[in-house]
Structure 1
Amino acid sequence: MTTDQPIPVIIDCDTGIDDALALLFAVRHPGLDLRAITCVAGNTDVDGVVRNTLTVLEQAGAPDVPVARGAERPLLEPLRTARHVHGHDGMGDLGLPAPTRTAADVDAVTLLRREILASPRPVTLIPTAPLTNIALLLRTHPEVVRNIERIVFMGGAVAAGNATPVAEFNVWHDPEAAAILLTAGVPITMYGLDVFQRVVVPGADVRRLRASAEPGARLAGELLAHRGPVVDESDPGGGLGDAGAVCAVADPQGLTTHRLPVEVNLAAGPARGQTIVDRRRRPGESEIHDGTREQPLVDVALDVAVERYVKLYLTAVEGP
Structure 2
Amino acid sequence: MLALAGMEIPVARGAAGPLSLISVHAKSAHGANGRKGIALSVRDAVPLPSARSLLAHSLRERRVECIIALGPLTNLAQLISEEPKLFEEVEIVWMGGTLSEGNVTPLAEFNAYADPEATARVLRSGLRTRVIGLDVTRHVRLRAQDLSDSPFGESPTGRVLDQALRALMELEHPLQGEPCALSHDPCAVVAAIFPNCFRYERKALETCVEEGRERGRLLEHAAAGSPAVDYAVEVRGHDVSRLFL
Normalised TM-score (structure 1): 0.70
Query: Where does residue 99 of structure 2 map in the other structure?
Result: 158
Q: 1:97 to 1:178 in 2, by over 3 A?
A: same
Q: 1:105 to 1:82 in 2, by over 3 A?
A: closer
| Equivalent runs, 1:84-99 vs 2, <5 Å | 84-99=28-43
Query: Where does residue 122 of structure 2 map in the other structure?
Result: 181
Query: Where does residue 253 of structure 1 map in the other structure?
Result: 196
Query: Where does residue 202 of structure 1 map in the other structure?
Result: 143
2:25 alignment partner AA: T
* Native 8 Å contact 1:67 1:103 kept in 2: no
In the TM superposition, what is the alpha-carbon distance from 1:167 to its structure 2 partner? 1.0
> Residues 201-236 of structure 1, C-alpha deviation per residue, up to 9 Å, x if partnerless?
131223444873122222221111111234765xx3
* Native 8 Å contact 2:11 2:48 kept in 1: no
> Residues 5-26 of structure 1, C-alpha deviation per residue, up to 9 Å, x if partnerless?
xxxxxxxxxxxxxxxxxxxxxx
Q: In the alignment, is residue 72 of structure 1 matched against residue 16 of structure 2?
A: yes
Larger RCO: 1 or 2 (CA < 8 Å, sep 6+): 2
In the alignment, structure 1 segments of 5+ residues that lack a partner are 1-55, 284-291, 315-320
Query: Where does residue 61 of structure 1 map in the other structure?
Result: 6
In the TM superposition, what is the alpha-carbon distance from 1:88 to its structure 2 partner? 0.8
Q: 1:294 to 1:163 in 2, by over 3 A?
A: farther
- SS for the counterpart of 2:88 is helix
Q: Equivalents in 1 of 2:87, 2:62: separation in Å?
A: 12
Query: Where does residue 25 of structure 2 map in the other structure?
Result: 81
* Native 8 Å contact 2:38 2:160 kept in 1: no
| Equivalent runs, 1:1-320 vs 2, <5 Å | 56-62=1-7, 64-99=8-43, 105-120=48-63, 123-148=65-90, 150-209=91-150, 212-228=153-169, 229-230=172-173, 233=178, 236-277=179-220, 292=223, 294-314=225-245
**Structure 1 segments of 4 or more deviating over 6 A?**
none
State the number of aligned residues. Answer: 241
* Native 8 Å contact 2:124 2:205 kept in 1: no
Q: Quick one: percent identity of the two aligned structures?
A: 31
In the alignment, structure 2 segments of 5+ residues that lack a partner are none
- SS for the counterpart of 2:204 is strand
Q: Which has the higher strand share?
A: 1
Q: 1:306 to 1:299 in 2, by over 3 A?
A: same
- SS for the counterpart of 1:147 is coil
Q: Equivalents in 1 of 2:58, 2:114: separation in Å?
A: 26
> Residues 46-94 of structure 1, C-alpha deviation per residue, up to 9 Å, x if partnerless?
xxxxxxxxxx2122222x1100002011011222111011111111111
In the TM superposition, what is the alpha-carbon distance from 1:143 to its structure 2 partner? 2.5
Query: Where does residue 28 of structure 1 map in the other structure?
Result: none
Q: Equivalents in 1 of 2:95, 2:75: separation in Å?
A: 14
1:129 alignment partner AA: G
* Native 8 Å contact 1:157 1:193 kept in 2: yes
1:118 alignment partner AA: E
Q: Equivalents in 2 of 1:136, 1:123: separation in Å?
A: 19
Q: Equivalents in 2 of 1:61, 1:208: separation in Å?
A: 24
For the aligned residues, what is the CA RMSD? 2.1
Q: Equivalents in 2 of 1:78, 1:208: separation in Å?
A: 44
Moved more, 167-176 or 201-210: 201-210
Q: 1:260 to 1:59 in 2, by over 3 A?
A: same
Q: Equivalents in 2 of 1:248, 1:81: separation in Å?
A: 26
> Residues 168-220 of structure 1, C-alpha deviation per residue, up to 9 Å, x if partnerless?
11111111000111133321111111112111113122344487312222222
Normalised TM-score (structure 2): 0.90
Q: Equivalents in 2 of 1:130, 1:207: separation in Å?
A: 34
Q: Equivalents in 2 of 1:110, 1:242: separation in Å?
A: 24
* Native 8 Å contact 1:69 1:103 kept in 2: no
1:89 alignment partner AA: N
